[in-house]
A = this chain, B = another copy of it.
Amino acid sequence: MKTQQYLVKPGKAVKLSAWNTDDDGSLDKADAPPLLTQMQQELAHWQERLHAESKQALLVVLQARDAAGKDGVVKNVIAAFNPNGVSVSNFKVPTEEEKAHDFLWRVHARAPRHGLIGVFNRSHYEDVLVTRVYDMIDSKTAERRLAQIRNFEELLADSGTRIVKIYLHISPDEQKQRLQDRLDDPEKHWKFNPGDLKDREKWDKFTAAYEDALSTSTEVAPWYVVPADRKWYRDLVISQVLLDTLKDMNPQYPEITFDPSKITIK
């Protein structure tokens, strides 16, 4: 599977209207499950190597509008990894303590150590998205934060952390359908947040803010705009992106400091 077409090329401006939300890669939905299962096995294998090597880390940043599938990606893709080596951080509205620090403080504390995979379910990008749409910060502050984010991600990259940033690209119609599903199914009521409708009304302002956020795509911390209207295709694309990334990191089993043939277990 090719994923290059979903990569935001560093330095290139993004117009989201030009990116598809409903690609299916000319694949059949019926073919997806075995493909996903195979990739999950490969992901687990590469994670074990990453863990054994313990010299690099992988940070996956998930950003999206409500109901675009962040939780679904965690449940279907991230679940492929051994829970011992992966940690999901959910960033909510900042606490008083968090607000009393710079905006990168709380995310920095959750950066994965070598050998681990960290997943940010929402992230430091909220501080240039929701804050901006609701005029909690001005454009100048947003610009400064985007520069600070670039520096921060470079710092992580310099110490061996590979960063992959995923924007789940959903259409307004598909979002409407999914929010309606949450209203219609009693077992999904708890997932419905009336506040999501306010965000939906500000669709275009969010689009503009996302387009600026996507400008932070760099070689060491690329953004992918993943078509998210079809859940099964979204999962395949993200699995492939993570697999390609892990293979490129190419973690190695460590050299051992003992001679196995000379050890006798009594």
Chain A residues with CB under 8 Å of chain B are: 52, 71, 74-75, 78-79, 81-84, 86-88, 90, 119, 121, 176, 179-180, 183-184, 186-187, 189-192, 194, 197, 200-201, 253-254, 256, 258, 260, 263, 265-266
Contacts A179-B265, A253-B190, A260-B184 given; does A74 touch B78 at CB 8 Å? no
Contact of A84 among B71, B253, B265 (CB under 8 A): B71
Output the least CB separation between A206 and chain B (Å): 15
The reply to whether A194 and B75 form a contact with Cβ atoms under 8 Å apart is no
Residues of B within 8 A of A83 (CB): 74-75, 78-79, 81, 83, 86, 88, 119
Q: A75-B83, A79-B82, A197-B263 are in contact. List 13 more A-B contacts (CB 8 A).
A: A52-B190, A71-B84, A75-B84, A78-B83, A83-B86, A84-B121, A180-B265, A183-B263, A183-B265, A186-B253, A187-B253, A189-B253, A201-B266
Given contacts A260-B184, A263-B194, A265-B179, contact A75 B82 (CB under 8 A): yes
* CB atoms of B254 and A190 under 8 A apart: yes
In the complex, 9 of the A-B residue pairs with CB atoms within 8 angstroms, ordered by the A residue number, are A71-B84, A74-B82, A75-B82, A84-B121, A176-B265, A179-B265, A190-B253, A200-B266, A201-B266
> Contact: B200 with A265, CB < 8 Å?
yes
A106 to B191: give the CA distance in the assembly, Å.
33
**Are B84 and A256 in touch, CB under 8 angstroms?**
no
* A263 CB contacts on chain B under 8 angstroms: 183, 194, 197
A256 engages B190 (CB within 8 Å) = yes
CA distance A222 to B197 in the complex (A): 45
Q: Which of A75, A180, A197 counts the most chain B CB atoms within 10 A?
A: A75
Known: A189-B256, A189-B260. A87 touches B87 (CB 8 A): yes
Are A260's CB and B183's CB within 8 A? Answer: yes
Instruction: Quote the shortest CB–CB distance from A74 to chain B (angstroms).
Output: 5
- Which residues on the B side are within 8 Å of A184 (C-beta)? 260
Contacts of A266 in B (CB 8 A): 197, 200-201
Contacting residues, chain B, for A74 (C-beta < 8 A): 82-84
Minimum CB distance partner of A196 in chain B: B265
In the assembled complex, the Cα of A155 lies from the Cα of B87 at a distance in Å of 26
Residues of B within 8 A of A200 (CB): 265-266
Q: Which chain B residue shows the least CB distance to A70? A: B84
Chain B positions within 8 Å of A194 at CB level: 258, 263
Residue among A84, A88, A187, A256 having the largest count of chain B Cβ atoms under 10 Å: A84
A97 → chain B closest CB, angstroms: 14
